Amino acid sequence: MTEQPRVRMKICWIKAGGLVPLDFGGRIRSFQMVKALAERHDVTMFTFYPEQSVDLHPQLRNMFSDLVLTPQRLPPSRSAADFLLYASTFFTGLPHSMAKYYTKALRRKLADVLRRGFDVVVCDFMFPAGLLDWNSGTKIVLFTHNVESEIWERQAKVARSWVERTGSRREFRTMREAEIKYARLADRVVTVSERNKEFFAQYAPPGRIAVVSTGVDLDYFHPTPEAELPDRVVFTGSYNWPPNRDAAEWYFDEILPIIREQVPGIESWIVGKSPPASLRRRAEADPAFHVTGRVEDVREYLRPCPVYVVPMRGGSGTRLKVFEAMASGKAVVSTPIGAEGLPAVHERNILLADSPAEFARQVVRVLKDEGLRRRLGAAARSLVEESFSWKKAAEEFEAILLRTARGAPEES
């Protein structure tokens, strides 16, 4: 370990949105970190999340010292009840994405758990922050997977309707206020990239900010070039997250037509859960544009596609899906925003493009040049092998918690 523990810590890990299924990057990162910690420390997992028809969380009980589950009945997205819930949170001063969870029952349940006493509390993502007593004397680590306000700021710029644009702008303003407030109150802020660290360093002393690596399962994701088929590209994600939905729609509307001018037989695979009706309509109109919905094993869709695309115009933090594609030895074409937080270098282990025309040009280039694909894929695999295992990331996070519990500053 980076720093060998002298004591067994008592940790409370608080997570909004649930921990399973492992179907998007934030959950995967949280799961890998807390799983490793629970093997060495007494971890109480407290998580609240929308009710699930099949709830996998009870299967995790043996992983933790205690597992406290609080499923909540939230209305369907964009329903009348959802708009009423939004209205009820409008004057709280908090982002709706935080306040929608904050029932009196949830506050009481969490307060009861925290009265047990812990060496350190992990506030996983910004969303549970408004539930905590930041003046209790308990050490609190704020684990920020993204700069959440940046996601909403970017979403407002690409929103297709005034309703979505107005809502995104409000979420941006209130989330920025929350990030500033809780970064100043936290005993430690953990970020997933140096770029995100620079944002939080505006509001918290450098000695209270740490960066933890992103990881990837290098055995699970590995190259299989013999399975690749020509003229296929793939993008993976959860499409109930607006930046992923916008990326897929932008690719279809503005990038794909340009690619088709030179690669008429191009097949595009949009893989992941919760694709909206807008994406499904595009797939119905175009038999070479495939929208899968949720899949059991994303590798089945990565293997046959020689190019992985990341046409993202929003989001923040680092994207585990890009690490998974790189570990799989794929040639990756991304926007600069899609590759933020990754130590990837254009033309060395990734291709970067910002405009639809340039993005399409890079996709066509790599589809037509097998040597270039192989070189980029091999370099991408080498990058993640050298620096991005989950074991390394978990060791870093454990060392951060130990320093926080002891009241030690971050190492420069």
Domain boundaries, the chain: 10-215+389-406, 225-387
Q: Which run of H or E residues covers position 195? A: helix 194-200
Q: How far apart (Å, rounded) are the C-alpha atoms in residues 225 and 305? A: 9
pLDDT per residue over 343-364, tens digit each?
A: 889 999 999 999 999 999 999 9
Return the pLDDT at 65. 97
Q: What fold characterizes domain 10-215+389-406?
A: Rossmann fold (3.40.50)
* Angstrom distance (rounded) from CA 286 to CA 259: 14
Matching CATH number, 225-387, of 1.10.3330.10, 3.40.50.970, 1.10.10.10, 3.40.50.2000: 3.40.50.2000
pLDDT band at 76 (very low <50, low <70, confident <90, very high): confident
Q: What is the DSSP string of 161-172?
A: SHHHHHHHHHHH
- Quote the DSSP letter at residue 58: G
pLDDT, position 5:
46
Give 310's contacts (C-beta < 8 A, 6+ positions apart).
235, 247, 319, 321, 322, 332, 333, 334, 335, 338, 339
Tell me the average pLDDT of the chain. 92
**pLDDT of 333 strictly over 90:** yes
- Phi, psi torsion values for 38, nearest 5 degrees: -65, -20
Q: How many residues are present in the chain?
A: 412
Amino acid making up residue 258: I
For the cut 70, the answer to whether the pLDDT of residue 190 exceeds it is yes
Residue 316 pLDDT class (50, 70, 90 cuts): low
Q: Is 225-387 in the same CATH topology as 10-215+389-406? A: yes
In angstroms and rounded to an integer, the radius of gyration of the C-alpha atoms of the chain is 21
Q: In b/e form, how buried is each residue of 276-291, taking b as 16+ CB within 10 angstroms?
A: beebeebbeeeeebeb
Give the sign of the dihedral formed by CA 127, CA 133, CA 134, CA 140: negative
Residue 314 banded pLDDT, cuts 50, 70, 90: confident
| Predicted local distance difference test score (pLDDT) of residue 23 | 79
- Give residue 206's pLDDT: 87
Percent of the residues in the chain that have a pLDDT greater than 70, as a whole number? 97
Query: What's the predicted TM-score (pTM) here?
Result: 0.78
